[in-house]
């Protein structure tokens, strides 16, 4: 997916031996080798892709990429915004529609996210990055608007699956197009994008507080009409408008060029060269790339350029050769298995609690005698604010000596679980709020570190497959969360205990990971 910036030559000797253990090659060889997968079905494509990588690196980071950073941030924001939307409206829609199993709404959403990630992730290699980049947020906006008119709980669940189908494509598509325009020296910006993820939660809860707080039926009300409970519908309209604004900025206000690699992969070398030169022009620079630089690789070989070949190249990245490479020796096999388990545990633990947090707050608030909807959404806003520093704290912790990635990840994950367990001791709404603020802060630190650590421990040539395995584990376990919530009963503390135990287990596993990438060049 992405790789660290190589360190100066004098530092390379320190990491050479570890590189040989993991990949069977020297670190210098890995850095010099193309970032594309060795032995892919189309060697001409691989050679051309490396030429385009070098051209983008020659251009460097400029105005076009910084604009792209912002609009790609919309995708990161959307990835967190809409699951938060589902959690915020869960309580009022359950009251209005008398839902017997509220977690089914989250289940529908998770299925949409899974199928969206699969469709858009593979589809962007067939019909282009540019269309997928724009359509994902556009589809989300349209179905978000439609959901505001839901006549019943089942219809809302269907609409949630449809808008999540769009949301699910944001990260795989946006990360692909961002990386393909990003020089290798600035690939760390993928980690910085998590700040958009944190702000999305704040924006959603900031809008939800007045709308849901003042226009939602009280949880103890004996009757609840559509007019009395219209707040969540206004909220859905606002979220749809926000998504539509992001779609407008992407589609109209910003000129997104088709990925040069996609154009080259479809046999449009001349267009690929033109895009590279246009990016250079917008950055106030010039590029030495020429059509001949790409066509020279066709001597002695033929590049396949049809849609089937494009999809085959995507599937090639998931073949068993690269999976087996991640289990090539005991140390690497342990590392791969454990990071998949950590992603799976977190994929179950986080939505099991966070996706139902407003619902749990409302239920516990009734027990405390102050379960009004106003207090519930006010507290959600406070919790969201406390989560924003998480990404910054995570970025600081991972570089601390004798702490590093593993220490930061283990501590933040374990503390996330500890604070969840502590929340069960709360006797007042304020105490519950305090523990939830601590939970959200630590979980944001955890995710910031996890997104940085995971790609660093995979060898370059197998990094795409490694990221695919961890993402799959995360999504599959995420689907299990609402199913467990149904049978564990959200009105009890059982989901909290299960979630907390999973976080603690993930924290312990982190301590046992064999690799610490802090201060070392990525393999």
Across the range 360-383, mean pLDDT stands at 69
pLDDT in the model for residue 180:
76
To which residue do tokens 């986080």 refer? 350
CA–CA gap between residue 57 and residue 186 (Å, rounded): 9
Model confidence pTM above 0.75: no
Lowest mean pLDDT among 5-19, 102-116, 377-391: 5-19
Complete domains list, the chain, with CATH? 42-316 (1.20.1250.20), 319-523 (1.20.1250.20)
Pairwise pLDDT comparison (122 vs 137), residue with the higher score = 137
Residue 148 backbone phi and psi in degrees, to 5 = -60, -25
Show the 3-state SS of 301-330.
CCCCCCHHHHHHHHHHCCCHHHHHHCCCCH
Q: How far apart are CA 36 and CA 180, in angstroms?
A: 12
- Is pLDDT at 50 greater than 50 in this prediction? yes
The pLDDT, as a whole number, for residue 245 is: 94
Euclidean distance between CA atoms 145 and 163, whole angstroms: 10
Q: What is the mean pLDDT of residues 261-271?
A: 80
**Sign of the torsion angle spanned by Cα atoms 235, 241, 247, 253:** negative
pLDDT the model gives residue 159: 95
* Dihedral in degrees, nearest 10, Cα atoms 331, 336, 340, 341: -10
| pLDDT grade for 326, boundaries at 50, 70 and 90 | confident
pLDDT at residue 25 in the model: 36
Cα 300 to the chain's mean position, in Å?
41
Where is average pLDDT lowest: 86-90, 97-101, 306-310?
306-310
pLDDT for the residue 9: 33
d(CA 19, CA 8): 16
**Model confidence pLDDT, tens digit, residues 466-500:** 766 787 788 888 888 888 877 776 666 777 888 89
Q: What DSSP line would sit under 147-182, residue for residue?
A: HTT--SHHHHHHHHHHHHHHHTTHHHHHHHHHHHHS
User: At which residue do the structure tokens 């007045």 appear?
Assistant: 210
Tell me the Cα Rg of the chain: 24
- Confidence (pLDDT) at 344: 92
Q: What is the pLDDT of residue 419?
A: 92
CB 380 within 8 A of CB 433: no
Nearest Cα residue to 385 out of 318, 433, 320, 348: 433
Locate 522 and state its tokens. 């990525």
- HSE (CB half, 13 Å, CA atoms) of 110? 24
Distance, in Å, from the CA atom of 502 to the CA atom of 348, rounded to the nearest integer, reads 8
- For residues 191 and 448, the answer to whether their CB atoms sit within 8 Å is yes
Task: Return d(Cα 277, Cα 263) in angstroms, integer.
Answer: 14
Query: Please, which pLDDT band fits residue 522 given cuts at 50, 70 and 90?
Result: very low
């Amino acid at each position: 997916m992405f790789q660290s910036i190589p360190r100066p030559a004098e530092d390379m000797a320190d990491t050479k031996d570890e590189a040989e253990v993991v990949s069977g090659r020297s670190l210098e060889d890995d850095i010099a080798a193309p970032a594309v997968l060795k032995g892919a079905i189309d060697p001409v494509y691989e050679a051309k892709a490396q030429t385009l990588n070098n051209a983008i690196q020659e251009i460097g980071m400029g105005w076009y990429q910084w604009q792209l950073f912002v609009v790609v941030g919309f995708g990161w924001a959307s990835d967190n915004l809409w699951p938060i939307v589902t959690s915020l409206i869960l309580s009022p829609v359950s009251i209005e529609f008398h839902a017997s199993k509220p977690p089914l709404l989250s289940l529908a959403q998770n299925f949409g996210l899974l199928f969206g990630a699969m469709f858009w992730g593979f589809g962007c290699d067939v019909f282009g990055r540019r269309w997928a980049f724009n359509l994902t947020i556009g589809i989300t906006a349209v179905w978000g608007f439609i959901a505001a008119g839901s006549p019943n709980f089942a219809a809302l669940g269907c609409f949630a699956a449809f808008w999540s189908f769009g949301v699910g494509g944001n990260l795989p598509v946006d990360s692909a197009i961002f990386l393909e325009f990003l020089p290798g020296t600035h690939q760390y910006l993928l980690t910085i994008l998590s700040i958009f993820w944190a702000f999305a939660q704040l924006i959603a809860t900031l809008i939800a507080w007045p709308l849901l707080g003042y226009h939602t039926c009280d949880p103890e009300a004996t009757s609840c009409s559509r007019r009395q409970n219209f707040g969540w519908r206004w909220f859905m309209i606002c979220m749809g408008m926000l998504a539509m604004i992001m779609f407008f900025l992407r589609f109209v206000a910003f000129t997104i060029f088709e990925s040069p690699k996609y154009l080259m992969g479809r046999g449009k070398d001349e267009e690929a060269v033109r895009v590279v030169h246009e990016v250079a022009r917008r950055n106030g620079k010039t590029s030495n790339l020429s059509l001949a630089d790409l066509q020279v690789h066709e001597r002695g070989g033929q590049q396949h350029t049809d849609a089937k070949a494009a999809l085959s190249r995507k599937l090639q990245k998931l073949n068993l050769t690269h999976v087996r490479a991640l289990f090539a020796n005991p140390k690497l096999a342990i590392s791969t298995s454990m990071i998949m388990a950590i992603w799976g545990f977190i994929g179950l633990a986080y939505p099991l609690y966070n996706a139902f947090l407003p619902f749990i707050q409302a239920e516990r608030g009734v027990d405390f005698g102050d379960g009004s909807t106003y207090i519930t959404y006010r507290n959600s806003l406070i919790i969201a604010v406390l989560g924003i520093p998480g990404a910054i704290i995570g970025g600081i912790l991972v570089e601390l000596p004798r702490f590093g990635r593993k220490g930061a990840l283990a501590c933040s994950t374990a503390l996330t679980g500890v604070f969840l367990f502590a929340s069960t001791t709360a006797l007042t709404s304020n105490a519950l709020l305090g523990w939830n603020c601590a939970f959200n802060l630590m979980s944001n630190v955890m995710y910031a570190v996890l997104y940085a650590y995971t790609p660093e421990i995979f060898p370059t040539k197998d990094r795409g497959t490694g990221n695919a395995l961890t993402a799959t584990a995360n999504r599959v376990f995420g689907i299990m969360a609402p199913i467990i919530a149904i049978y564990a009963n959200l009105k009890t503390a059982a989901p909290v205990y299960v979630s907390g135990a999973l976080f603690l287990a993930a924290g312990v596993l982190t301590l046992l990971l064999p690799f610490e990438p802090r201060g070392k060049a990525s393999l």
